[in-house]
Amino acid sequence: MENRFQKIKKIRTRLSKVLAVLVIIAFIFGEQRYYLSGLGSGIVDIVALLLVTVGTLGRVWCGFYISGFKNKKVVTDGPYSITRNPLYLFSLIGAIGIGLVTHSLAVLSFIIIGFAIYYPFVIVGEERKLASILGDDYQNYIKRVPRFFPKFSLFTQPKEYTVKPKVFYKDLRDVTMFIVTYCLILLINILKTYAIIPTQFPIF
């Protein structure tokens, strides 16, 4: 069962990378069929930045609690007290921000639909793995805390918490991807506006 799960996971990962590359190419060389006004564009970019910020800070928050403890114990404090998958929740929020800043309905739709199709399988697979490793503690955690959408009334946090710096610093580097991607997309939008990057085909 474990080998079968790993094979399926590898196939999904490769497929998602291929689709991601195609979306990136479409965004860079595609010409949007609708255009936002200066004010509309600015508002969308601000909302996108807020979502990217929430996604980034949220992943940092998760990393603070989970770094060094993943698959070793049931983490039930901080973001993990209100949802079992806060990393994926904040990743979705940040990804929607990235989709918005592209000013492309096609890219935004692909991100949302792709997440809705892909990540439920990932989450279920990880839950099975954690249940087999962590046993009753994780089963009790499943009964108390929702899988994805947070239940804020459950929030708890300790007065003190031990963090493993080396692992946390690595996770901290990883979360900068949202900010870097946001800046790159803004740059590409500017280059396309001034026709420095030629558009080859229309997209929504």
pLDDT tens for the chain, 204 residues: list them.
Answer: 555 556 666 666 676 667 677 777 777 877 765 566 678 888 998 999 999 999 999 999 998 888 877 778 899 999 999 999 999 999 999 999 999 998 888 889 888 998 898 888 889 888 988 898 889 999 999 999 999 999 999 999 988 887 777 777 777 777 788 888 888 888 888 888 787 887 776 666
Q: What are phi and psi of 36, to 5 degrees?
A: -90, 145
Q: How far apart are CA 105 and CA 111, in angstroms?
A: 10
Q: What pLDDT is recorded for position 16?
A: 66
Q: What pLDDT is recorded for position 195?
A: 79
Domain of 57, CATH number, reads 1.20.120
Count of alpha carbons within 13 Å of 94, Cβ hemisphere only?
A: 23
Q: Cβ contacts of residue 32 below 8 Å, gap of 6+?
A: 103, 104, 202, 203, 204
Does the residue 176 lie in any domain? yes
Q: What are phi and psi of 201, to 5 degrees?
A: -155, 155
Does the residue 128 lie in any domain? yes
Does the residue 7 lie in any domain? no
Q: How far apart are CA 152 and CA 156, in angstroms?
A: 9
Q: What pLDDT is recorded for position 92?
A: 94
Does the residue 139 lie in any domain? yes
Does the residue 158 lie in any domain? yes
Domain region containing 187: 38-195
Does the residue 21 lie in any domain? no
Residues in the chain: 204
Does the residue 8 lie in any domain? no
Q: What pLDDT is recorded for position 47?
A: 95
The number of folded domains in the chain is 1
Does the residue 102 lie in any domain? yes
